[in-house]
Amino acid sequence: MDDKMGSVNMQIIFVRHGQTDENIIPLGARFTIDTFNAMMAGSPSTVRLNATGIRQVEAVARQLKPVPLLVASHFQRAQETAAILARAWGAEVVTLESLGEIVLAKFPGRGARQAFPFWLLIAMTVWRHAWPFTEGEETLYQAFRRARIAWAQLLELASKGGPIVVISHQGFLRILLWYLRFQRGCRVWKKDLSNGGVSIVEVEEPTGSAVGDRAYGAAEVQRRRFMMPKEEEPADEAAAAVEGVAVLGRDLR
């Protein structure tokens, strides 16, 4: 961007976590209701990178220019991705709970004997995320509001030290990048939501802002954890966020 226009450009780079075994479950695989529900409930803490996922992240470390700050979801697979990049770059890691994945809703009821195809279990649960009055599960409308919170937090962190790399998940990144396409001064000029994929957002910042003006204080944010605010954000128009409902079952893992 031309300095005469009174602005400079800042990049925020998004990386989807490396591959997990859950990412490659065949749609025809069969699970009991209890096994499926346990897998969904344990997604934040039990789903980990597999060998392919580790290699994917190591390739990202070689591909990207090192940055001093990584910002990651609190999910285990995102934390493992951040740890690999942090070791390669000597970077600090900040955890943002607002970057977490939308956990696929549980299948109603229980069942430990009969097994059902994975695609059927997904089809019977994914609609709940599009229904704005669902209780006990995060809806797409709520995830859209969470994307607004996450973006504000990321801009604050970037303003303290320049470029950052953000590690999150396919389903949530789909919503966040959609939201950014409509924000003034933002341009999504690269989008890759595959495992280990890199997406790049360019942000127009006013000249004289804090971006690049202060050295990043690693000690200031070391082990710092940003929690989701308890106050609910005002309702927002997020109807277009439901465009990804048909593929949520493959995204939310």
Tokens of 209: 């802002």
Spatial distance between the Cα atoms of 131 and 23, rounded to a whole number of angstroms: 25
Position 19 scores a pLDDT of 98
What value does the CA radius of gyration of the chain take, rounded to a whole number of Å?
Answer: 19
Q: What are phi and psi of 224, to 5 degrees?
A: -75, 140
Domain residue ranges of the chain, discontinuous segments joined by +:
3-251
Spatial distance between the Cα atoms of 80 and 179, rounded to a whole number of angstroms: 27
Closest to 238 measured CA to CA, from 118, 140, 103? 140
How many angstroms separate the first and last alpha carbons of the chain?
37
pTM for this one? 0.81
Spatial distance between the Cα atoms of 138 and 42, rounded to a whole number of angstroms: 15
Spatial distance between the Cα atoms of 17 and 29, rounded to a whole number of angstroms: 23
Distance of CA 123 to the CA centre of its chain: 22
Class of domain 3-251: alpha beta
Tokens of 147: 């994307």
pLDDT digits (tens, 9 = 90+) for 24-41: 999 999 999 999 999 999
What is the residue whose two structure tokens read 């009969």? 114
CB 12 within 8 A of CB 69: no
Position 243 scores a pLDDT of 44
Given a cut of 70, the residues of the chain with pLDDT beneath it are 1-8, 161, 205-253
